[in-house]
């Protein structure tokens, strides 16, 4: 069984992408509504919550767990990989491909407050964005509006936030929260046709497929030794 974990509906697009690549595999989507949202919590609290949820999924028979949440991934992956013997695939903002796409040398990462402040995001920026200005933009309340299906509120939050950044000539925006991928059309409408939107869904699904097939081929040894997150495989 492959388990896909998120605090709400955000990870559903990753689930769809994984199903397309691994149609015969049993997937278990774990929606942790009781702790939604993760992005406004402290790193220590998120690690505790994710650890507890992963313990339950391992007990249920999960052989691979996908953290379909940027906030959870940037603070929890190292701890989980130390504690558990199964592989984990995380999702991190698609900074590397954004850096390759930009022509204005100005990109933005839309993320939760937790992701925007994280050392993991800053490390990606330091590694892949030499000579590129990266605007880390938190959008408080956006994940909640997406989860509630409140489209007018989604558009209002994006419009109000983007107004402070339009002057910079940003031409690529990374959707650094899986909930935001659910609001792609609303975000695109506000930002306009001159801004490319990218996310990590396809990269995560490809990594899940690689890790799962390695588990099947080699009894888990190769998968456990691989990176098991999407950051290195984004392209």
Q: What is the pLDDT of residues 89-146, one digit of tens each?
A: 999 999 999 999 999 999 999 999 999 999 999 999 999 999 999 999 999 999 999 9
User: Is residue 218 very low, low, confident or very high in pLDDT (cuts 50, 70, 90)?
Assistant: confident
Q: Which residue has the tokens 């995380």?
A: 90
Active site positions, annotated: 69, 177
Instruction: Judge whether residue 76 has pLDDT over 80.
Output: yes
Instruction: Judge whether residue 234 has pLDDT over 90.
Output: no
Q: What is the pLDDT of residue 230?
A: 52
Q: Write the pLDDT tens digit of every residue in 36-45.
A: 999 999 999 9
What pTM was estimated for this model as a whole? 0.88
Single out the residue of 137, 166, 179 nearest to residue 8, CA to CA: 179
What gap in Å lies between CA 59 and CA 80, rounded to an integer? 15
Instruction: Judge whether residue 215 has pLDDT over 70.
Output: yes
CA 189 to chain centre: 22
Q: What is the pLDDT of residue 235?
A: 39
Q: Write the pLDDT tens digit of every residue in 106-116.
A: 999 999 999 99
Instruction: Judge whether residue 59 has pLDDT over 70.
Output: yes
Domain positions in the chain are 2-92+201-225, 95-198
CATH classification number, 95-198, choose in 1.10.10.10, 3.40.50.1860, 3.30.70.270, 3.30.43.10 = 3.40.50.1860
Q: Do domains 2-92+201-225 and 95-198 have the same CATH topology?
A: yes
Structure tokens at 186: 């609303």
Q: What is the pLDDT of residue 144?
A: 96
Query: For 2-92+201-225, which CATH class?
Result: alpha beta
What gap in Å lies between CA 86 and CA 26, rounded to an integer? 16
CB 68 within 8 A of CB 19: no
CA 48 to chain centre: 19
Mean pLDDT estimate for the chain: 92
């Amino acid at each position: 069984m492959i388990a896909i974990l998120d605090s709400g509906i955000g990870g559903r697009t990753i689930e769809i992408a994984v199903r397309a690549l691994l149609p015969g595999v049993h997937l278990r989507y774990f929606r942790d509504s009781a702790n939604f949202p993760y992005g406004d919590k402290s790193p220590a609290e998120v690690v505790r919550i994710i650890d507890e949820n992963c313990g339950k999924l391992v007990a249920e028979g999960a052989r691979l767990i996908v953290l379909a949440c940027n906030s959870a991934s940037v603070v929890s992956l190292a701890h989980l990989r130390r504690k558990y013997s199964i592989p984990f695939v995380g999702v991190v903002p698609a900074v590397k491909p954004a850096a390759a796409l930009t022509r204005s040398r100005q990109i933005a990462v839309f993320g939760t407050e937790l992701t925007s402040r994280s050392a993991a995001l800053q490390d990606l920026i330091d590694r892949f964005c030499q000579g590129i200005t990266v605007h880390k933009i938190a959008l408080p309340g956006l994940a909640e509006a997406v989860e509630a299906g409140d489209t007018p509120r989604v558009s209002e939050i994006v419009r109000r936030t983007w107004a402070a950044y339009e002057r910079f000539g940003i031409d690529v925006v990374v959707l650094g929260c899986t909930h935001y991928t659910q609001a792609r059309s609303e975000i695109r409408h506000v930002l306009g046709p001159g801004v490319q939107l990218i996310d990590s869904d396809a990269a995560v699904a490809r990594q899940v497929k690689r890790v799962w097939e390695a588990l099947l081929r080699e009894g888990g040894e190769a998968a456990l030794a691989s990176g098991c997150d999407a950051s290195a495989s984004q392209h």
